[in-house]
Amino acid sequence: MNADLSLYLVTDAGAAMSAGRTVLETVRLAVAGGVTAVQVRDKHADARALLELVVAVGRSVPPEVAVIVNDRVDVYLAARREWPAIAGVHVGQGDLPVEHVRALVGPDAVVGITASSEDELRVAASSPARVDYVGIGVVRATATKPDAPTPLGVDGIVQRAAGCPIPAVAIGGITVADVAALRAGGVAGIAVASAIAGSADPTEAAARLLMAGAAA
């Protein structure tokens, strides 16, 4: 896997809009504060709008910042034709099986999967397709993902990450106060949405999260 997932922004159009910004403006500000990867996620956008956003995000960030498409393998493939640096895709348990995803995107793409239960983590780890990272959550309940599983807390995330051979990214209601314990517990990264997108200053919010992780 060729992506730094240590501070991973998941875009949230609603939170950005509430704060008076576009998703693209939020991404640029967050990257200035130290975000290392961006997952473009918009469950309500049609394919063309999502494609345009993915390409715009790809063009607006430095090459070392991984841009990952949520769910839509088709959008990822189309975006790569316009901007080859788009890094990969992240899928959930209800999306295409990861073996099919890997076959479609090829060996060079980053492929991540949400896998929070012990069974889901076991399946991801044993997949014949290469899974580059798992997203484990949620730390606590969050309005960003109302259908999220039962919160695991920091200790629950760390325990499940420790039992999985694949790099793990923690997600779901994470605050600055959680970051040091999560990183010290061995997670490869911290994924946040509203903590950055909904903040008054995304650059400062990202910098505080990054600093908390460095202190672990």
Share of the chain above pLDDT 70, in %: 96
- Domains of the chain (ranges, CATH numbers): 7-214 (3.20.20.70)
Q: Taking 70 as the threshold, does the pLDDT of residue 196 lie above it?
A: yes
pLDDT averaged over the chain? Answer: 95
What predicted TM-score, i.e. pTM, was given to this entire model? Answer: 0.95
Measured distance CA(1)–CA(115) in Å, rounded: 18
pLDDT digits (tens, 9 = 90+) for 164-189: 999 999 999 999 999 999 999 999 99
Q: Taking 70 as the threshold, does the pLDDT of residue 143 lie above it?
A: no
Q: Taking 80 as the threshold, does the pLDDT of residue 33 lie above it?
A: yes
Measured distance CA(27)–CA(41) in Å, rounded: 12
Q: Strands, DSSP E only, in 11-71?
A: 37-40, 66-70
Q: Are the C-beta atoms of residues 109 and 90 closer than 8 Å to each other?
A: no
- pLDDT for 149: 76
Q: Strands, DSSP E only, in the chain?
A: 7-10, 37-40, 66-70, 88-91, 110-114, 133-137, 168-171, 189-192
- pLDDT for 79: 98
Tokens of 189: 């990264």
- pLDDT for 144: 63
Q: Taking 80 as the threshold, does the pLDDT of residue 1 lie above it?
A: no
pLDDT digits (tens, 9 = 90+) for 6-24: 999 999 999 999 999 999 9
pLDDT digits (tens, 9 = 90+) for 44-89: 999 999 999 999 999 999 999 999 999 999 999 999 999 999 999 9
Alpha carbon of 13 to those of 42, 99, 179, 193: distances in Å? 7, 30, 24, 10
Task: Say which residues have a Cβ less than 8 Å from residue 160's Cβ, sequence separation at least 6.
Answer: 116, 118, 121, 136, 152, 168
- pLDDT for 141: 80
- pLDDT for 150: 86
Question: pLDDT tier at 147 (50, 70, 90 boundaries)?
Answer: low
Tokens of 19: 């704060």
pLDDT digits (tens, 9 = 90+) for 77-110: 999 999 999 999 999 999 999 999 999 999 999 9
Question: pLDDT tier at 2 (50, 70, 90 boundaries)?
Answer: confident
Tokens of 73: 């393998």
